[in-house]
Amino acid sequence: MTAPSKTSVSPADPSPHVAAAHDKILIVDFGSQVTQLIARRVREEGVYSEIVPFNKAEAAFAEMKPKAVILSGGPASVLDDNAPSAPLSILTAGVPVLGICYGEQTMAQQLGGTVEAGHHREFGRAAIEITDTCALFDGVWEVGGKYDVWMSHGDRVTKMPDGFRAVAKAPGSPISIIADDIRKFYAMQFHPEVAHTPDGAKLIRNFVRNIAGFAGDWTMRAFREEAIEKIRAQVGKGKVICGLSGGVDSAVAAVLIHEAIGDQLTCVFVDHGMLRKDEAKTVVDLFRHHYNIPLVHVDASKTFLGELEGVTDPEVKRKTIGRLFIDVFDAEAKKIGGADFLAQGTLYPDVIESVSFTGGPSVTIKSHHNVGGLPARMNMKLVEPLRELFKDEVRDLGRELGLPDIFVGRHPFPGPGLAIRCPGEITREKLDILREADAVYIDQIRKADLYDTIWQAFAVLLPVKTVGVMGDGRTYEYVVGLRAVTSTDGMTADFYAFDMKFLGETATRIINEVKGVNRVVYDITSKPPGTIEWE
């Protein structure tokens, strides 16, 4: 057994392939903003898929031996020098291939067709007309019909490679969908993976199930069983420690690992004093009483709030909290005799290597931290059983493991907690006000049955006081900002358009029920240009 020391990290098994027993689809990423949606659509068909950047696709194809390949869209033009392309080994391997947008163009060009710059660029909704039958359209589209699709391209295919036929046309691209039924190669100018192509998911289903012949047997039940086997194989008789944040991901990871190795797992829940109302109680109840999982509950609020006294800069706040987390966690890990493994709720979007066409490092908007920041200073191997899942798949797994719906469906909550929802200096008084206002707001949202429609909602306590009048008296109190967004992954978000009646009633309730607040405002900023959190 190795006591955690602040030296090095052993990365998780880089190719865990929990899904080894299942047929897979390889998605070759050319840098489209929506490549992840292709993986989503494929997984919705009960088929396991992985996304790999185009420049690593050859090795991934050889290792994964996928039963089919999808080539994503991307911002480049095949007419550019050094344009990215699909490995030829994929196009000659005899597996079905679906090309989407850029994927279509590179496929056409690489196989001997011609791509030209379009006379007019097509972005947004367009209608395509089906000109011939095709296995992609079975039960979905008919010859002669016109259907809405989402286009986003400048170039177009003007001459098809040998063996292909055109099966659809659009005003901007007479060759909109091409098919080679012998090789099972299909490609389209538009994006079937986005919701703006209403029948897109059905086209992908036809490719996956009918053309490529997948059974669709990748279910959460199968995932659970395989993940448990894999955790047992990885951990052996070792000890595992898992930091709980109160969020869904770490909770699901912990319950899954506990099912695999029982009391070889210890969970540590650090209360930094900036949690939501009743959060600590909820987590402790759930783990200790419902699941009987060994849990160390550390009240470190004094340390955190003490060190944050007078700190107003958002980045200094984040970094201070990150540093203290490590110290507290480290100390607690030592107290329980150390551990060989650190469990984390890392998700698939965190591990996908995205393709950058801009070059150079990306700008740090915020130093995101959660327990995920720990390993850099710890000498434990990582156990990351959710590395292959998207957020809502984790929720499905949580339900499969018997976590209560109300817990599984919770909105995301950031590691630094309410600290970043309290712009300016943090004090216990401000945190108490914020906790109460947030609880009223969330209660309102639940009562209006909007909680599951909204991706994330929370209150913010502004660092200003304003004048108001209550009864006959003057008040001089804080302003609460309300935030609610819809999103799929938190990378982009739209503000949620509540009706005014809801907002009015919520403001009244907050002002009446929360001492110290006399004004409420609603944040109507989307992301970009705003971020979801205020700091």
**Binding-site entries for ATP:** 245-251
Cβ neighbors of 477 (< 8 A, separation 6 or more) are 465, 466, 468, 516, 517, 518, 519
Active site residue 58: no
370 lines the binding site for ligand XMP (CB under 6 A): yes
The string of DSSP codes covering 237-268 is T--EEEEE-SSHHHHHHHHHHHHHHGGGEEEE
Q: Under the criterion CB under 6 A, does residue 49 sit at the interface with ligand XMP? A: no
* Cβ at position 47, least distance to ligand XMP in Å: 28
Site for ligand XMP in 429-458 (CB under 6 A): 456
Quick one: 354 or 512, whose CB is closer to ligand XMP? Answer: 354
Of residues 346 and 444, the one with the C-beta less far from ligand XMP: 346
**Selected binder of ligand XMP within 368, 377, 399, 509 (CB under 6 A):** 368
Interface with ligand XMP, residue 319, by CB under 6 A: no
| Site for ligand XMP contains 391 (CB under 6 A) | no
**Token pair of 265, please?**
């797992």
Note whether 128 binds ligand XMP by CB under 6 A. Answer: no
> Minimal distance in Å, beta carbon 367 to ligand XMP?
7
Q: How far is CA 108 from CA 28, 89, 95, 193, 206, in A?
A: 16, 15, 16, 20, 21
Residue pair 416/445 in contact (Cβ under 8 Å)? The answer is no
* DSSP letter, residue 410: P
In 10 A of CB 350, how many CB atoms?
14
Residue 50 bridge partners (DSSP): 26
Residue (103 or 415) nearer to ligand XMP, CB = 415
Segment near ligand XMP (CB under 6 A), from 117-125, 323-331, 363-371, 391-399?
A: 363-371
Q: From the CB of 189, what's the least distance to ligand XMP, in Å?
A: 32
Interface pick for ligand XMP out of 165, 366, 377, 465 (rule CB under 6 A): 366
Site string for ligand XMP, 401-430 (x = CB under 6 A): -----------x-xxx--------------
The answer to whether 168 and 130 have CB atoms below 8 angstroms apart is: yes
Per-residue buried b or exposed e for 210-224, using 16+ beta carbons within 10 Å of the residue's own CB: ebbebeeebebebbb
Report how far residue 8's alpha carbon sits from residue 392's, in angstroms, rounded to the nearest whole number.
32
Q: Which two structure tokens, joined as six digits, stand for 217? A: 């047997």
Rank residues 52 and 275 by Cβ distance to ligand XMP and give the closer one.
275
Q: Is residue 338 near ligand XMP by the rule CB under 6 A?
A: no
Q: Which stretch binds ligand XMP (CB under 6 A): 28-36, 84-92, 364-372, 495-503?
A: 364-372
Integer Rg of the chain from CA: 26
Q: How far is the C-alpha of 285 from the C-alpha of 478, rounded, in Å?
A: 33
Site for ligand XMP, rule CB under 6 A? 366, 368-370, 412, 414-416, 456, 490, 527, 531-533
Catalytic residue annotation = 101, 191, 193
